[in-house]
Amino acid sequence: MDGDRRKVLRLIGKGSVLAAFLAQIGAAGRAFFPNVLYEPPSRFKIKRPDDYPDGYTLDAAHRLYVVRQKDAFHVISAVCTHLGCNVQWSDTEFDCPCHGSRFRPDGTVISGPAPRPLEWFATSVSPDGFLEVDSGTEVARGFRLIAGKGNA
Amino acid sequence: MADKLKALWRKTFWAWSPESERESSEAIVRNFWLHWFPAKVARASMDWNYSFWLGTASAALLLILTVTGVMLMFFYVPSTERAYGSIKDLEYAVSFGRLLRNQHRWAAEGMVAVVYIHMARVFFTGAYRGTRAINWVVGVVLFLSTLFLSFTGYLLPWDQLAFWAITVGTSIAKQAPLVGPTVQFILLGGHEIGQQTLLRFYVLHVFFLPVFVWVLFGYHMWRVRKDGGLAAIERVRDARTMIPKTTPASKSYSLFGITPGTSVQVMSSTGLEESDQVFSSPNMSRRIALVFLVVFNITLLAALLFNAPLEGLANPSVTPNPAKAPWYFVWLQELVASTTVRIGGFTVSGALLGGILLPGFLLGVLTLWPWLDRSPLRTQGRWLAPERKRQNVTFAVATLLIIVLIMVGVYLRGPYWRIYWPGQARPETPRLY
Ligand code: FES
């Protein structure tokens, strides 16, 4: 009986030291998951609607294409859905320089390794008259934003 | 005069000199520099034509990389703003800085190749049987670590190659089932490539991976010794056991007086005879020094003749066209580019199939090969044993396929990753970077 109690106490003693050690390792590992990210917001303003000509305009800094057809706008991501290179618009299709994926003007895949169509981003007009893109929100293909009525 | 100098040298640095075989052995085992050699090594282990000393060459490259790498650390700043500039400084502002970087770069690419060829040698000689299977697995891990070291290394200059290699590499990691996105998040230190990413890869490259490789290298060497030397000695051992031992009849002394019988056979632990072995110093130490010098001079020559590539400053807005991985990863790039499968509306991305599952499968088979090999034991330590013909052909064909993929990627792929045959005109693509 006495021996048993000793055994249990010893187990608790050693166990707690070991547990503290493991917890410390866990804490050190947790440090590698950043809590604060100094990254640009996923919602940002680009230019005014009327600053864009008809057709496909690359916004390299935000890695997207602004597409204008008269008064209708939509925004397609320039990031290849395969492994994240920037696709390039060549008047009839998008091509990816990394592994050769090809996309139709609406972003759907023609050929190549890309598994999904290019993303369409939610777009709106901010109160001060700029196009505002939310790269965290996808919208269905066929989305159109009517803006820039002044001239077309 | 020379004799006097020699005598002076002895008097200054030697308190004692070996006078017998036994003392010579002790001189090796008790010396700080030599104690990690066995006192004696089998002649067969040191045969140039058996091993080509590729393992020693890999170790020499590792040493060269460590020394040149530490020197580069004095000039390199792991910051996204200054990394590229510090490489440019190495090239234009630091005396012999370009040479240093070139040598580091070519030694690194050389190490990938030499470690692989070393592995091929071990495979073709069937030198992974019995207890040596553990060292085979250790070797596979060392090969993988070498690849990771190269990968983390060429990210550091923060040029276009670096940036797009991280983009593609970590996107492949993201495709791993379940843990993928978390792995990518930890590697990048966020959702996007930035300062955290560079710093993480830097610390991996200059501390964790090298320390890991050095420790594992030590274990690799220790195991070679504990396994009795290279598998080549098994040939000698077999030959020895073929000769029937005539045990001399003798009288043994026991407590009860003299009894007839046979005396105890004294066998050396390796099963080799005295004449099969020589002192490791100077026989082996001299060869190691020679291999090191040859390897060093080859990397130096390469560094003098060819400059390490450096593309434009990293630019997230522009992907180089085509964006090619370094040659030893190009075959993987070919795989991820061509293994996307579409069945009806269902798509399996090439990133998962060609980037993770297929390489993972190859790696698994490679690791487990010692246990898949069912050929007779006497094939070990023999080059291209006929009993292992099918295995050797399999390995050779796999290697050849990888080389073909590398050739296609390096020489035939042009803008938008399309095939252009030699001589065929390649379209001009805008080069904004
Ligand atoms: S990243 Fe576009 S095809 Fe691979």
Residue A151, pLDDT score: 46
DSSP string, chain A: -HHHHHHHHHHHHHHHHHHHHHHHHHHHHHTTS-SS-----SEEE---GGGSPSEEEEETTTTEEEEEETTEEEEEE-B-TTT-PBPEE-SS-EE-TTT--EE-TTS-EEESS--SPPPEEEEEE-TTS-EEEEEEEE--TT--EE---S--
Query: Cβ distance B127 to B380 under 8 Å?
Result: yes
Whether residues A144 and A114 fall in one domain: yes
Query: Cβ distance A108 to A86 under 8 Å?
Result: no
Whether residues A146 and A89 fall in one domain: yes
Whether residues A16 and A62 fall in one domain: no
Closest CA–CA distance from residue A3 to any residue of chain B (Å): 43
Hey, of B81, B171, B197, B198, which one would you mutate to test binding to chain A, going by the most A CBs within 10 A of its CB?
B171
| Segments forming the whole domain that contains residue B197 | 37-241+270-319
Residue B279 lies in a domain: yes
- Strand residue runs (E) in B103-220: none
Counting as low any pLDDT under 70, the low residues of chain B are 241-271, 429-433
Residue A57, pLDDT score: 92
Residue B328 lies in a domain: no
Whether residues A10 and A24 fall in one domain: yes
Residue B264, pLDDT score: 45
Whether residues A9 and A74 fall in one domain: no
The number of folded domains in chain B is: 1
Tell me how far the alpha carbon of residue B334 lies from the centroid of ligand 1, in angstroms. Answer: 11
CATH code: domain of residue B147:
1.20.810.10
pLDDT tens readout for residues A76-134: 999 999 888 999 998 899 999 888 899 999 999 998 889 899 999 999 999 988 999 99
Residue B256, pLDDT score: 53
Tell me how far the alpha carbon of residue B350 lies from the centroid of ligand 1, in angstroms. Answer: 10
Could you tell me the pLDDT band of residue A1, with boundaries at 50, 70 and 90?
A: low
| Segments forming the whole domain that contains residue A11 | 1-38
Whether residues A33 and A54 fall in one domain: no
Tell me how far the alpha carbon of residue B321 lies from the centroid of ligand 1, in angstroms. Answer: 11
**pTM of the full predicted structure?**
0.88
Per the DSSP assignment, residues forming a β-bridge with B289 are none
Residue B164 lies in a domain: yes
Residue B79 lies in a domain: yes
The number of folded domains in chain A is: 2
Closest CB to A97 among B191, B340, B415: B415
Beta strand A72-77 with B257-262 is unpaired
Residue B128 lies in a domain: yes
Whether residues A33 and A105 fall in one domain: no
Residue A148, pLDDT score: 66
Separation between Cα atoms, residue B78 and residue B314, nearest integer Å: 14
- Tokens, residue B45: 């282990």
Residue B274, pLDDT score: 78
Whether residues A18 and A92 fall in one domain: no
Whether residues A18 and A90 fall in one domain: no
Angle separating helix axes B97-124 and B132-155, nearest 10 degrees? 150
Of residues B245 and A19, the one with the higher pLDDT is A19
Non-local (6+) Cβ contacts of A13 within 8 A are none
Protein residue with least CA distance to atom 1, ligand 1: A83
The answer to whether the CB atoms of B347 and A95 lie below 8 A apart is no
Tell me how far the alpha carbon of residue A99 lies from the centroid of ligand 1, in angstroms. Answer: 5
- Which residues approach ligand 1 with their CB closer than 6 A? A 80, 82-85, 96, 98-101, 112-114
Closest CB to B317 among A61, A100, A114: A61
Residue B365 lies in a domain: no
Pick the closest to residue A124 from A139, A151, A145 (CA basis).
A145
Residues in chain A with CB shorter than 8 Å from the CB of B317 are 60-61, 63, 86
Whether residues A11 and A65 fall in one domain: no
Whether residues A140 and A76 fall in one domain: yes
CATH code: domain of residue A136:
2.102.10.10
Closest CB to A84 among B168, B322, B348: B168
Q: Give the residue, out of A83, A86, A89, with the most ligand 1 atoms within 8 A of its beta carbon, to mutate for a pocket test.
A: A83
Residue B356 lies in a domain: no
pLDDT tens readout for residues B357-375: 999 999 999 999 999 999 9
Whether residues A30 and A47 fall in one domain: no
Global ipTM: 0.85
